[in-house]
Amino acid sequence: MQLYSERRTRVSERAVLWTDIILHMLKVNSITENFMAETPGRALEMSGLMEETRHVKEREKTKSLKRKDKKCFTCTECGRSLSNKENLKVHMRIHTGEKPFTCSQCGKSFRDASNLNKHMLIHTGEKTHTCGQCSKTFLRASELNDHLRVHTKEKLYSCALCGKSFANQTSLRYHQKTHTGVREYVCFECEKTFITAAILKQHQMIHTGEKPYKCAHCDMRFMYLGSQKTHERTHTGEKPYKCAHCDKRFSRIENQKSHERIHTGEKPYMCSHCNKRFRDAKCLKQHQRIHTGEKPYKCSHCDKRFSCIGNQKSHERMHTAEKLYKCSHCDKRFRHLGNQKSHERIHTREKPYRCSHCDMRFSQLRSLKIHENIHSGEKQVRFSQSETLKNTQECHV
């Protein structure tokens, strides 16, 4: 009996609620009719507004239905939704490995025609996108946009884990894999693992000896496109990277960054054996060989070995008597690039090495070190000429 009473009460409440709603709607309609009758002009305006509102609602409804229908083609392998059957077909080739579009020039295959068309620009050499800052040309607009950030130093993409910023999304994705530690691409020749397929492919050229990139000015070939571009600047003299602190320019961005640390005094790379710090990773790696005793570079004329390739090349010129480096101000030639640069400072009067204790500057690093010993009170130890030569050679070995 009590249950029946509760049900009846709930039904009664609902009936009252619906009655209130119906009465309210009738009242609104009555007011609207009276308003339209009393003010014909406003009524017409109101009528138009209501009509427009109805059309807007219909358009929104149509758009909503289209959005629902837009991604109705779903991949059975990974669950990704695509907007049409053709896009799904192209997407499925990721899983099947099918690449039906083949380049007639080099035989490289692609999943879709658009990627083949982009690739063909490499062979035609057509570069329609030009940088307004340095006149450098690019095959694709995306490459130009990435390049422009070299000039603006804009880094839009930040890593959520460490805050490091990158100029493009591809670099960010590569970086993020260093956090996850996932190295899913394995070289079957040496079992070395890599973060991306592109890096693996580049590595495999070491085993195959393949050098697909040829210099446009000479017959030299390279494994990497970046190496080819850097080499070509030795012919063109192009130096697109300028120091932010002085007017010096560089053909390689890593050389610019390393040079700028002379001004800032920054030495971010520390030796794990002796805590000595260095401006760049290359100098650190060479230094660490003092501790490990590693000498991977062997002279092609004798059995002497070296810890860095620069010293090997310099030593080999003693056998050939070759002097590659010519002063840009006079006719003097040098076996070593460092000696050429040091000599050129006689002409330019450049003094890049500044004492950390006073304002004195020096053209040679050696002169700076000798001067700084005056402040530290350290005395120079004198050797005979032969001992000095021997020690100097050991430092380079």
Distance of alpha carbon 167 from alpha carbon 270, whole angstroms = 26
- 16 has a pLDDT exceeding 50: no
Determine the pLDDT at residue 274: 92
In a domain? residue 391: no
Distance of alpha carbon 395 from alpha carbon 390, whole angstroms = 9
In percent, the amount of the chain with pLDDT more than 90 equals: 1
Please give the residue range of the domain that contains residue 88.
80-126
13 falls in which pLDDT band (50, 70, 90)?
very low
In a domain? residue 97: yes
Determine the pLDDT at residue 150: 72
* Token pair listed for 198: 């592109």
**CA geometry: angle at 54 spanning 51 and 57, to 5°?**
155
In a domain? residue 154: no
The total number of structural domains in the chain stands at 2
Determine the pLDDT at residue 58: 64
In a domain? residue 210: no
195 falls in which pLDDT band (50, 70, 90)?
confident
Distance of alpha carbon 261 from alpha carbon 259, whole angstroms = 5
- 101 has a pLDDT exceeding 50: yes
Is the CB of residue 372 less than 8 Å from the CB of residue 353?
no
DSSP 189-220: TT--EESSHHHHHHHHHHHH----EE-SSSS-
- 390 has a pLDDT exceeding 50: no
In percent, the amount of the chain with pLDDT more than 70 equals: 76
Determine the average pLDDT of the residues in 212-233: 86
In a domain? residue 131: no
CATH number of the domain where residue 121 is located: 3.30.160.60
In a domain? residue 365: yes
93 falls in which pLDDT band (50, 70, 90)?
confident
- 52 has a pLDDT exceeding 70: no
- 182 has a pLDDT exceeding 80: no
In a domain? residue 17: no
Could you list the beta-strand ranges (E) of 206-306. Answer: 213-214, 221-222, 241-242, 249-250, 269-270, 277-278, 297-298, 305-306
In a domain? residue 64: no
- 81 has a pLDDT exceeding 70: yes
- Please tell me the pTM assigned to this model: 0.38
CA within 13 Å, CB half, 298: 4
- 75 has a pLDDT exceeding 60: yes
